[in-house]
Structure 1
């Protein structure tokens, strides 16, 4: 009698523990038929206990496990190979309303009174998964913010490097300018001063030729200063965007002839210009003022860096939809290592340091040609000469 009462008491306690458990508990036969469920399992899946007892447990599983559950059991019974039994794992559950959700499932095998039953303990992972996804989202947001901040810092670093590089460039240009200006202004001003002092000494009428000689020197020095100031003025206007191209129809031969005539004062003794002007193009559409500045500058350079008696050859022609104008000399040429900097402001090749010049001429030429929507090409061999070719569009009417 006492043993019977103790048995009933233990049974009630076990039943109470079974029902009070916060995780879902399901017991089933070896065929996967549900024998018992606790209240937590009913609430978890949305079924009443009576709806589940006697049903196959795979009704509570996701599509994949539901379709393969019987195969799992058959394989386990035949081979003893465990797929879920004795191994905790994450699975997908399916509620009565069809909603699927993540579960932590632990299945144990119990042998009782000669029978085998399976007990599954199920823990809803929905909140955990939501929290996990939120953590992942926060991590992603944080990574994105870090990447954005890093990108911003890198961009800021690039801007600072660019500003620093610009500052170095400006300081270098300033040094070049001061060095150039010191030479280009000091030399002609010294010439003017010494010539004036000498003129004051020539008081006799018979000394007029000497006075005229020094007056010519003064004029040349003033012209030299004017050219320097004109280069500065042109560069300033270019940088401020005050110079624009005003294209119109141009007679190319006439323009070249005008440029040659304007450059006669730059020629050294016995230097001569040879023209090789092709029949086409005769007419182009461009800005005559800018193009004239370009050609006069190139012809002046050719004369300046060539010896007396050497030839300067000017040729024109058509290259597809462009007009080319080439100015070729037999002068000192440009050192190969200096050619990459040839169009930089204030840059002068190392073999022309004793020749008058601001280092702005080719930089201005490059600016003007770009305004004409063209390009400048050049070839040069040290000691043999240089050839500069300007390529500009013919203009729509001439194509």
Structure 2
């Protein structure tokens, strides 16, 4: 493209370029740098320039944003910042909204030549604006005097509108990105504000959050001390060595005290140019101090320092001020919490002292209760158990969670056979009718063991003299009851012994009186009339004496048998015997001593074998049972005796068809001196069955009977081999 020789062709190219620009811009969105680079390249096609720069307004400043160097086709992110009022050409373009051409900067008296501008010899400042706002400049810069002319200004004018619109759209998008970034930074920073209620720890977390979002800075929270003019520094974060521990005072010099006093954000983009800055750290180049405000009170500041000048943009300040508002609330809450915690600690200390006193008193009472042998229970007015001591649970068994609504009445009035009337006593005490009540009750604990208790219940009254509960004192008197029962049983036994003694004396007196009288009568007859008696008469008297002496001997033997020693050493009297032979011999002796007319049989069944036993006691068993069967037989005189050798035991069965045993006497038939009420005048001591029962018991056997009055009686004796056969070596296997 030849700008001078082909102005008509250039005009057509510019128009085509202008028409193509919106499409190209939209294709490059949202990459702002790509959009700006495209716009800069378009301008370079229209006007030959050494440097083309797009600058944007940043508050009251102008910031060079993007530069293009056509000669080497390179782009550069620019960061120069300056005031609009610093350069006349900028101010004029800003005011008139018209391009300003400076053909030769060295010949323009208003042009300022410094380190940043001395290389520029020709310059065009083109304002960028829309209908609503002014937002920046396009700078064309040349290193040759008179490099730009009015014709260049006219050539670039068609591109300005499209470039302004494109830059405006890119700026809006960048602002949206920046707003999103600010919100994200604010969210990230404020996320730490609720993680602790310790002021110093919270201050450190706030500083770390700011440093995390803004690199190359040092940050710290400085608070107003409520009780001292000296400001309180909280832990800082960021670049090491960029802060100082020098004390700060509210009325002293420095940006921090100034911001606290004024309540306004204070920013020194270049601390060397700010007289309020106190030079403590040479590395610090800029400082931003943001007040922490709550309810119109300044509680401190957020202090940020950087090693770079102009480190904080207006956007940065806006984000940090929003963050500072939330941080101030968090710090104020943490302070209030610490005050509450201090107050609570003081109150807790006071409460702890009072609690200790109460605990000591409570422990004293609990010690008394827990080591008391009496059970104690505290209940509601209607008897529901609230608390018990150890002795109470020993009496009634441990209470579980399922017993939370258990009424003490259910424990004490549990025995349906006893009218404990605990419920009525509870009502009287709870209603104030009675101050206390006493009960002697029989209850049942959790192991279903009967428990005898002596219970006293009394009302517990509060400060208003109202009944607030009932206390039960329960004493286990089971041992006393057992002693009482033991004494009662002993008394009954003693009375029974006295009765037996009287009965024994009566029986012995009666049984011995008759034979003694007969003996005495026979003796007197022999002494007086011996010479007159014939041989038959003398023999009759002698026989009377012999038979009655025999009778008395039998009675004495029965009494001796009744006092049989039961100690284990009596087993030495046992030996292996043929029991069938012993019983057979006794059977034959009995047959020889009775009269005629009896139907008596003795049968032996099973495999006959020797058994180890006391032969005398075996004879007592057999003779007493068979004699009784014969003695009390009816007119039929039928007696059946059977010895049966079984697998593990032997069994003796004696049955008769005699008078039987009355039902009322059957429960005492084995007691000494007890005889059936229907025996009439039949001779006997009432000791025979007692002797049999003891002999059977000595051999760990069992005796049982069945009897129907006037129909007969059957006795069955069963004794196991295992008890008898203690010494197999005596006779070999049985």
TM range (shorter): 0.5 to 0.7
For the 8 Å contact 2:606–2:646, the answer to whether it is kept is no
**How far apart, CA to CA, are the structure 2 residues paired with 1:392 and 1:165?**
33
1:290 aligns with 2:617: yes
| Aligned counterpart for 2:705 among listed residues 353, 378, 382 | 378
**TM-fit CA distance, 1:376:** 0.9
For the 8 Å contact 2:580–2:608, the answer to whether it is kept is no
**How far apart, CA to CA, are the structure 1 residues paired with 2:483 and 2:683?**
43
For the 8 Å contact 1:262–1:296, the answer to whether it is kept is no
| Aligned counterpart for 1:137 among listed residues 358, 362, 367 | 367
Task: Tell me: CA distance 1:390–1:364, structure 2 relative to 1, closer, same or farther (3 Å).
Answer: same
Offset from partner CA, 1:80-138 (integer Å, 9 cap, x none): xxxxxxxxxxxxxxxxxxxxxxx6xxxxxxxxxxxxxxxxxx87423313422431331
For the 8 Å contact 2:704–2:716, the answer to whether it is kept is yes
For the 8 Å contact 1:173–1:346, the answer to whether it is kept is yes
Which consecutive residues of structure 2, in runs of 5 or more, have no partner in the other structure?
Answer: 1-331, 376-390, 392-453, 455-473
Aligned to 1:368: 695
Task: Tell me: CA distance 1:347–1:265, structure 2 relative to 1, closer, same or farther (3 Å).
Answer: farther
Task: Tell me: CA distance 1:200–1:242, structure 2 relative to 1, closer, same or farther (3 Å).
Answer: farther
| Aligned counterpart for 2:496 among listed residues 157, 169, 172 | 169
Aligned to 2:685: 358
Aligned to 2:339: 35
For the 8 Å contact 1:269–1:308, the answer to whether it is kept is no
Aligned to 1:300: 627
TM-score scaled by length of structure 2: 0.37
Offset from partner CA, 1:356-398 (integer Å, 9 cap, x none): 2111111111111111121111111211221211111124566
| Aligned counterpart for 1:190 among listed residues 517, 534, 545 | 517
Task: Tell me: CA distance 1:44–1:329, structure 2 relative to 1, closer, same or farther (3 Å).
Answer: same
For the 8 Å contact 2:620–2:691, the answer to whether it is kept is no
**TM-fit CA distance, 1:300:** 1.8
Task: Tell me: CA distance 1:265–1:195, structure 2 relative to 1, closer, same or farther (3 Å).
Answer: farther
**How far apart, CA to CA, are the structure 2 residues paired with 1:306 and 1:267?**
13
Task: Tell me: CA distance 1:175–1:203, structure 2 relative to 1, closer, same or farther (3 Å).
Answer: closer
**TM-fit CA distance, 1:247:** 3.4
Offset from partner CA, 1:65-91 (integer Å, 9 cap, x none): xxxxxxxxxxxxxxxxxxxxxxxxxxx
Task: Tell me: CA distance 1:249–1:382, structure 2 relative to 1, closer, same or farther (3 Å).
Answer: same
Alignment of 1:308-387 (within 5 A): 310-387=637-714
**How far apart, CA to CA, are the structure 2 residues paired with 1:324 and 1:240?**
25
For the 8 Å contact 1:307–1:331, the answer to whether it is kept is yes
| Aligned counterpart for 2:543 among listed residues 216, 222, 229 | 216
For the 8 Å contact 1:245–1:290, the answer to whether it is kept is no
Offset from partner CA, 1:5-61 (integer Å, 9 cap, x none): xxxxxxxxxxxxxxxxxxxxxxx98x9835357789438459xxxxxxxxxxxxxxx
**How far apart, CA to CA, are the structure 2 residues paired with 1:265 and 1:137?**
83
Offset from partner CA, 1:194-251 (integer Å, 9 cap, x none): 2233444654677321222222222111111101111122223337888546433222
For the 8 Å contact 2:641–2:654, the answer to whether it is kept is yes
Q: Which 4+ residue blocks in structure 1 deviate beyond 6 angstroms?
A: 37-40, 145-149, 239-242
RMSD: 3.4
Task: Tell me: CA distance 1:322–1:292, structure 2 relative to 1, closer, same or farther (3 Å).
Answer: same
Partner of 1:354, secondary structure, is coil
Alignment of 1:97-112 (within 5 A): none
**How far apart, CA to CA, are the structure 2 residues paired with 1:259 and 1:290?**
12
Offset from partner CA, 1:238-280 (integer Å, 9 cap, x none): 3788854643322232111111133245524432531121132
**TM-fit CA distance, 1:152:** 3.7
**How far apart, CA to CA, are the structure 2 residues paired with 1:305 and 1:268?**
14
Task: Tell me: CA distance 1:282–1:38, structure 2 relative to 1, closer, same or farther (3 Å).
Answer: closer
TM-score scaled by length of structure 1: 0.65
Higher relative contact order (CA 8 A, sep 6+): 1
**How far apart, CA to CA, are the structure 1 residues paired with 2:665 and 2:497?**
20
Task: Tell me: CA distance 1:378–1:32, structure 2 relative to 1, closer, same or farther (3 Å).
Answer: farther
Aligned to 2:584: 257
Which consecutive residues of structure 1, in runs of 5 or more, have no partner in the other structure?
Answer: 1-27, 47-102, 104-121
Task: Tell me: CA distance 1:350–1:382, structure 2 relative to 1, closer, same or farther (3 Å).
Answer: same
For the 8 Å contact 2:530–2:538, the answer to whether it is kept is no
Aligned to 2:565: 238
Alignment of 1:154-165 (within 5 A): 154-165=481-492
Offset from partner CA, 1:140-185 (integer Å, 9 cap, x none): 3321688777344223213312321221121111111111111111
Q: Larger % of helix: which? A: 1
For the 8 Å contact 2:705–2:715, the answer to whether it is kept is yes
**How far apart, CA to CA, are the structure 1 residues paired with 2:540 and 2:529?**
11
For the 8 Å contact 1:268–1:308, the answer to whether it is kept is no
**How far apart, CA to CA, are the structure 2 residues paired with 1:131 and 1:234?**
70
